Amino acid sequence: MSRKANVLAIPAIGKLDRKIGQLSQQLAQALRNAIHKGELKAGDMLPSTRSLAASLELARGTVLEAFEQLVAEGFLESKRGSGTCVIFSPQTIPSPKVEPTGDIFLTESAQKFARVAERIKTLSPRPFAVSVPVGDTAPDDIWRKIGNRIRARGPGAPSGYGEPQGVRPLREAICEYVRKSRSVHCTPEQIIITSGTQQGLYLATQILLDSGDTAWVEDPGYPGMTDIFETAARDRKMVRIPVDAEGLDVEAGKVIAPQARAAFVTPSHQYPLGMPLSMSRRAALIDWAKTNHAWVIEDDYDSEMRYAGQPFPALQGMGPNNVIYLGTFSKILFPSLRLGYVIAPEPLINAFNGARILMDRHPPSADQYVLAKFMSEGHLNRHLRKMRSVYAEKRRVLMEAVTALISPDLATLQPTDQGMHMVLWLPGFDDREVVRKGIEAGISLRAVSHMFSAGNSESGVLLGLGGFTDEEIYAAVGKLGQLLAAMSRDLLL
């Protein structure tokens, strides 16, 4: 009797609200609350479902359902013939309120990754961000129309898990494209669809290097690459190899780290400086790789955007068994698509598939079919021709504006025939300070100095040829010129 009275005295049960329904859920919650508050304790017997139903004026099934739920949750136990008993009552059930997070312990890994996020922030879409696709550089309506068609039915419609390597029609279209435009030697079986160059680089560090192995990385080089070695792959060793007017100094690499397992290079357009790797360096690099059973990872970014002369063929064609080729559609189509590719010798394909399965299973399917159709119907080549002429003109305007509005005593443009950005050298300036003041003045810049190894850095900023109007480019260059002139006066005072 006292037990029954005890249960019926639980304040929460009085609050069952018949108007909102779901009485069994309400009852279960009331009993949970009673257990949490200590109103019901381990060992307490509950009244029979029949008597509780009667006293609460509920259907007996409703009470039964609540009891079954709490049995499933481990609060109650039902014993045949002897009723239902509370078997779990913690002294203190953790509070469900959001608690202050001040004392959270962060691993060294977490701290390193957080610094990457702070360093690599997306720039505001204004000059000189590399802001594709804006205005003339956006894909036209054909992209959207093909998408609507492909997603309506067939393999582009919602479907189950796909292959980690990516869908076959897109791999075929890419194979044809790189063969014609870049002299890459491969079959569709050698192509792995990625979410862009960054994923290709990440996968390469995981697969091509074992713990303790060394890789050559250009100095200066792409921060998205060096950051991988400094955080996610810090059991692998990166040695920085200097870059000169012919690109990566292969002879220096052979002196600094002759036994390296891999070399990460940007042969068609060195990042960030912009020159191509010369033919003699290419031959020397491939020769070193063959002799040492080393891998060359060729990041062929921006190779489509060449404004003078014919493009260099890809390094991959000179040593298909030693080169991992990375391409991306981020720049030539649009970055938010997140599609790129790796081309690797066949014996490595399963390794890439396995690494991909563990990272994110496979690329989303629908956009792969859309892109395959966009390429096979010839729209990508047409889009590329348009992009090339748009960017060539933007590049001309940028160079003209820099010549007109920035004193040659303060800054020098690095010459390049290729790509979607240029480097403006700023000797004597602290380029990070220029970036900060630029943001205050409403222009988006990236400093070059942190792309060099420590103690080896030079000062400069990246100027993206983003899709801005001539007036916007002139205005931004004017602001940058004034900023540099003012900083220069301050330096002299």
For residues 419 and 395, give the distance between their C-alpha atoms in angstroms, rounded to a whole number: 9
Kindly state whether residue 365 participates in binding a second copy, applying the rule CB under 8 A. Answer: yes
The minimum distance between CB 337 and a second copy, in angstroms, equals 6
Should residue 353 be labelled a site residue for a second copy when binding is judged by CB under 8 A? yes
Among 359, 384, 390, 392, binds a second copy (CB under 8 A): 359
Instruction: Name which position in 54, 280, 396, 427 contacts a second copy (CB under 8 A).
Output: 280
Interacting residue with a second copy among 281, 373, 395, 421 (CB under 8 A):
281
Give the residue from 10, 14, 24 showing the smallest Cα distance to 61: 24
Among 11, 61, 154, 354, binds a second copy (CB under 8 A): 354
Residue 351, number of CB atoms within 10 A of its CB: 15
Position among 83, 188, 242, 345 found at the interface with a second copy (CB under 8 A): 345
Is residue 427 a contact point for a second copy (CB under 8 A)?
Answer: no
The yes or no reply on residue 279 touching a second copy (CB under 8 A) is yes
Contacting a second copy within 100-129 (CB under 8 A): 101, 104-118, 120, 122, 125, 129
Residue from 171, 185, 240, 394 binding a second copy (CB under 8 A)? 185
The interface mask with a second copy, positions 398-417, x = CB under 8 A, is -------------------x
Q: Which of 118, 285, 143, 303 is nearest to 216 (CA)?
A: 285
Under the binding rule (CB under 8 A), the answer on residue 319 touching a second copy is yes
Residue 283, interface with a second copy (CB under 8 A)?
yes
Q: 126 vs 479, which CB is nearer to a second copy?
A: 126
Q: Which is nearer to a second copy, 287 or 430 (CB)?
A: 287
Instruction: Name which of 420 and 426 has its Cβ closer to a second copy.
Output: 420
Say whether residue 20 binds a second copy (CB under 8 A).
no
Question: What is the DSSP track for 97-121?
Answer: SPPP-TT----HHHHHHHHHHHHSP
With contacts defined by CB under 8 A, name the span among 46-54, 339-347, 384-392, 429-437 that binds a second copy. 339-347
| Min separation Cβ 446 and a second copy, Å | 13
Task: Kindly tell me which residue out of 309, 378, 408, 455 binds a second copy, with binding defined by CB under 8 A.
Answer: 309
- Identify the DSSP state of 476: H
Tell which positions 431-470 bind a second copy, by CB under 8 A.
none
Q: Which of 61, 159, 189, 415 binds a second copy (CB under 8 A)?
A: 159
Whether the Cβ atoms of residue 182 and residue 301 lie closer than 8 Å to each other:
no
Task: Considering only CA atoms, give the Rg of the chain.
Answer: 31
Closest CA to 486 of 446, 433, 424: 433
Size of the site for a second copy (CB under 8 A): 131
Among 202, 264, 301, 391, the residue binding a second copy under the rule CB under 8 A is 202
Q: How far apart are CA 298 and CA 265, in angstroms?
A: 5
Query: In the complex, what is the shortest distance from the CB of residue 408 to a second copy, in angstroms, rounded to a whole number?
Result: 23
The answer to whether residue 17 forms part of the interface with a second copy (CB under 8 A) is no
Contact 316, 282 (CB under 8 A): no
As a whole number of angstroms, the distance between CA 435 and CA 74 comes to: 59
Dihedral (C-alpha) 247, 248, 250, 251: value to the nearest 10 degrees? 80
Distance CA 26, CA 32 (A): 10
Q: Which of residues 161-180 bind a second copy (CB under 8 A)?
A: 161-164
The residue type at 379: H
Report the DSSP beta bridge partners of residue 413. Answer: 424
Q: How far is the C-alpha of 210 from the C-alpha of 237, rounded, in Å? A: 10
Q: What is the length of the chain? A: 493
Which member of 144, 180, 382, 385 binds a second copy (CB under 8 A)? Answer: 144
Q: Contact between 479 and a second copy (CB under 8 A)?
A: no
- Give the nearer residue to a second copy in terms of CB position, either 140 or 409: 140
List the one residue from 18, 259, 310, 471 that touches a second copy (CB under 8 A).
Answer: 310
We find the least distance from the C-beta atom of residue 146 to a second copy, in angstroms, to be 11
Percentages of the chain per state (helix, strand, coil), in multiples of 5: 50, 15, 40
- Single-letter residue type at 277: L
Q: For residue 328, report the phi and psi dihedrals to the nearest 5 degrees.
A: -150, 150
Site for a second copy in 48-107 (CB under 8 A): 65, 68-69, 72-75, 87-88, 90, 93-94, 96-99, 101, 104-107
Query: Interface with a second copy includes 338 (CB under 8 A)?
Result: yes
Does residue 362 contact residue 166 with C-beta atoms inside 8 Å? yes
Structural contact between residues 435 and 460, judged by C-beta atoms closer than 8 angstroms: no
Nearer to a second copy, 115 or 407 (CB): 115
Closest CA to 183 of 267, 307, 288: 267
Q: Select from 433, 430, 439, 478 the least CA-distant residue to 458.
A: 430
Q: Which CB, 104 or 454, lies closer to a second copy? A: 104
Nearest distance, CB of residue 480 and a second copy, angstroms:
21
Residue 90 CA from chain centroid, whole number: 44
Close Cβ partners of 183 (under 8 Å, ≥ 6 residues apart): 313, 314, 317
- Taking CB under 8 A as the criterion, the residue among 9, 54, 59, 157 binding a second copy is 157
